[in-house]
Chains A and B, each alone.
Chain A
Amino acid sequence: MEILLNGDPHSIEQSCTIESLIVKLELDGKFAIEINKNIIPRSEYPNTRIHAGDNIEIVNAIGGG
């Protein structure tokens, strides 16, 4: 199914969770995640299912003033 990931179209398997998306993307370090502008607490990653058309933002800290 199709989702928007950081503003770009992205294909993932049906009934994927945030946890499995993180594994698939090989994300490490510290990040935070929003689905459709709602923040998903880290503890909820395994229980949060992604639906077709979801708008997912994954952010981290970078250099800034």
Chain B
Amino acid sequence: MPNSSTDALSIAGVDYSSRLLVGTGKYKDMDETKNAIETSGAQIVTVAIRRSNIGQNKEEPNLLEVIPPDKYTILPNTAGCYDAESAVRTCRLARELLDGHDLVKLEVLGDEKTLFPDIPQTLDAAKQLTDDGFKVMVYTTDDPIMAKRFEEMGCVAVMPLAAPIGSGLGIRNPYNIRTIVENANVPILVDAGVGTASDAAIAMELGCDGVLMNTAIAEAKNPVLMASAMKKAIEAGREAYLAGRMPRRAYASASSPIDGHFF
């Protein structure tokens, strides 16, 4: 039976037993961030790179003290970048900040209303980053052709959106996600759009290698409890995928045998 030691998620040559990746945004405070992330069981945790608050919040703990890089794989993102240049610049700063750690989440956004990726800019940035030795996990649309292009460029994981970032609308186009998974030779992770546990399970049942989420946990009424639910949903969905679901039928199929019926 598959378990976490035999069914690892392998990204850029590193094996992870958890297939749930989580963000660190939108939490009430650092305590809630820490509790939710610990409960989720996530091993890869995204962070944003922003200007330091000079001379402010001296008492507030540093995020990297709450999620220490020796315990978690820190995945710096380029959220908020609307062009390739600023995304590449952000990744280079992140690499310096994290002592040469070169795994990054690339997202180059198209507009503020949809937060859909700008694909030409994302392609440009992915090329520059892979040429510069970065291991790129790329946020993209649920387009199978683009997913293949990013794989061919050397991205270590392709992460199609399931619905707009922060929308919680769930897996809007399961057929595209399935096609992307079927064509892929690198891990495919749903990044964005998951709203609740069943959405995460559906992504995993489609064969995704993992799910990256932030808002679904952070904006739950009880984020720590939702983190627990998501952990179970990811595991349940993965096991259901590996188990292979029964075929769908248009009509009933009795579960009890007909033979030996006594009236």
Contact = CB atoms under 8 A, between A and B. Distances in A.
Interface of A: 5-7, 25-27, 29-34, 37, 39, 41-42, 57-65
A26 B59 CA distance: 13
Which of B49, B52, B62, B212 gathers the greatest number of chain A CB atoms within 10 Å?
B52
Nearest to A57: B51
A64 B25 contact: yes
A22 B150 CA distance: 39
A27 B93 contact: no
A25 B56 CA distance: 10
B214 to A, nearest CB: 3
Contacts of A32: 49, 93-94, 96-97
B97 A63 contact: no
Contacts of A30: 62, 64, 97-98
Given A27-B52, A29-B64, A63 B26 contact: yes
Contacts of A33: 96
Complex A-B, nearest 3 residue pairs according to Cβ-Cβ distance, in ascending order: A64-B48, A65-B23, A65-B214
A61 B54 contact: no
A63 B62 contact: no
A60 B97 contact: yes
B62 A29 contact: yes
B87 interface: no
Contacts of A5: 54
